[in-house]
Amino acid sequence: MQPDVKNKPWYLERSVWVMLFLGFSAGIPILLIFGTLSLWLREAGVSRSTATFFSWAIIGYSFKFVWAPLVDRIPILILTRALGRRRSWILLSQLLVIASIILMANTDPESSLTSMAIAAVCLGFASATQDIVIDAYRIETAPPKLQAMLATTYISGYRIGMILAGAVALSLADKFGSTLENYSYAAWQKTYFVMAAAMLIGIVTTLLIKEPERKSIDSDYPNRDYVSFVGVFALSIVGFIAVLWFSPGTPELFDGGNQSLFKFVYSSVLLGVALVVALLLALACSNIGLINQKMVDESYIQPILDFFQRYGKLAVWILLLILLYRISDLVLGVIANVFYQDMGYSKTEIGSMSKAFGLIVSILGSFGSGIIALRIGVMRTLYSAAILVVITNLLFCWLTTVGQNHTDIAFSLPLIGELSFPLELAIVIALDNLVQGFSTVAFIAWMSSLTNVSFTATQYAIFSSIMTLFPKIVGGYSGTYVDAFGYTNFFIMASALGVPVIFLIRYLQKRLEFEKAD
């Protein structure tokens, strides 16, 4: 039942705080693939370029719009009858997340890198599915006036989950006895078991919350149509993987940096071929009637046509901005943990500064962005944030000059005791995360304003997928780029990627204001 906003302040609404715990559940998996895993792989002796390729395991987040309509419509046998449509899917996705984390924990990348890659991909898809359902639950469980507060507590919970999977996980791996010099699989196994256990908080929350009241969403099509669509999607994924799996390795044609650059180009072409093969398989299945064309039209084509009809020629520029806006941050983020370790920082320092301290600062940036957006508008906030992203990314060049000669600051706190941290690392991480929080909230607010209420879920899923797809693909090559050109040149490149975004925002700001005035 939707709460009575008029008679009760937002902080007394049960639904607001439910999202804190669901956000925590959603925030745990991503760093277990995106950041923490990269350090595990490095300690296991996996090369830097191979370790960053694992960031592609979360590519499922970028394609979640493909199966979002299936999650929205298909019931899960007994679970749906017992818990309701939303809660059953949330519970199933959480169980799949736990199973995937346990599978990763039981795999030593030193001896079975392929099995670890499969487990990481499974975790990526399970986590993306959890995000789809929690977003739907959040929208349906409260009226529009409460949505901002639900989003705020959800993001806060998400950040706390990331702190656990980042700072706490790295600290645990250290305490359990794994280091870069003395790798211990048992230490990482125990760490990932703890992360799997933490997901129980989300499961308990799911079992205690109420199913939102909503109109019947019985499928307009037989379940076999949805099952066939899932089958075609799975076939396309198999084709994509098969191309990468059976393709020959990179030929050794050059020496040193030239070979690394050639490897980057070769891998990029190979990835493009794999994507084309996946698309051709889907089209072939569609042409022979394996997919209900009317279902595809209503689920995907109509929302896309609506967007282009409303924005006309500007639609292409809007999509280009969505594609590029986060590329600077996400490309840099893939290699950040490895960079910190190469600069001589311990996992505990990386965890406490980058994950715990950094995420707390990003929450402050998020609140600051919301307040400023209310005063000067979303587009102006977006423009300011884009400039700040370019500037703060250049600060990483400073860290390369500092290297292991960093300045340690030590002090004592009551009940906690002696604390120490690298000053230069703290400055860079504080400013970087402050700007990240600032820019992310502004961008999400802007993307939300682009959607049509008739197609909100599908259009926003498409926007969010486009936002992360290209940066994640490029980020997978960050290790290769560093091997070829070094960290300093990489950070300059990452910062330069944000410059076109500034001009795009400025252009769209003028055009959108002009059309609104008309």
First-last CA distance in the chain? 41
183 and 60 inside one domain = yes
- At CA 469, angle to CA 448 and CA 331, rounded to 5? 105
Q: Which structure tokens are listed for 423?
A: 């000053």
Output the DSSP codes for 13-72. -HHHHHHHHHHHHHHHHHHHHHTHHHHHHHHTT--HHHHHHGGGGGGGGGGHHHHHHHHH
The answer on 322 and 268 residing in a single domain is no
Q: Over the stretch 249-296, which tens digit does the pLDDT of each residue have?
A: 777 776 655 666 677 677 778 878 888 998 899 889 888 888 888 777
Contact present, 69 and 299 (Cβ < 8 Å): yes
Examine the domain organization and report whether 350 and 381 are in the same domain.
yes
Do 44 and 146 belong to one domain? yes
Site of tokens 């990240």? 436
Please give the residue range of the domain that contains residue 397: 300-518
Same domain, 258 and 190: no
Q: What is the per-residue pLDDT for 2?
A: 47
Residue 422 β-bridge partners: 408
CA distance 46 to 183: 12
Measuring CA to CA, how many Å separate 477 from each of 146, 205, 493? 41, 38, 13
Residue written as tokens 């884009």? 386
- 490 and 356 together in one domain: yes
Domain end among 187, 215, 243? 215
Q: What is the pLDDT of residue 6?
A: 52
Strands 408-413 and 417-422: antiparallel
Report the domain count for the chain.
3
Q: Determine phi and psi for 311, rounding to 5 degrees.
A: -110, -10
Domain boundary among 215, 232, 247: 215
- The helix (run of H) or strand (run of E) holding residue 233 is helix 223-246
Last residue of a domain, one of 147, 182, 215: 215
| Alpha-carbon span 345 to 309, nearest angstrom | 52
Other beta carbons within 10 Å of 425: 24
What integer pLDDT is reported at residue 369 of this predicted model? 64
**Domain match, 323 and 175 both:** no
Which pLDDT score is estimated for 512? Answer: 78
Beta strand spans in 167-207 (E): none
**Within 10 A of 170 (CB to CB), how many other CB atoms are there?**
28
Residues of the chain with pLDDT under 50: 1-5, 216-218, 413-417, 517-518
CATH number at residue 311: 1.20.1250.20
In whole angstroms, give the CA distance from residue 124 to residue 100. Answer: 9
pTM for the complete prediction?
0.71
The tens digit of pLDDT for each residue in 372-423 reads 766 777 788 889 989 998 998 888 888 888 766 667 666 554 444 455 667 7
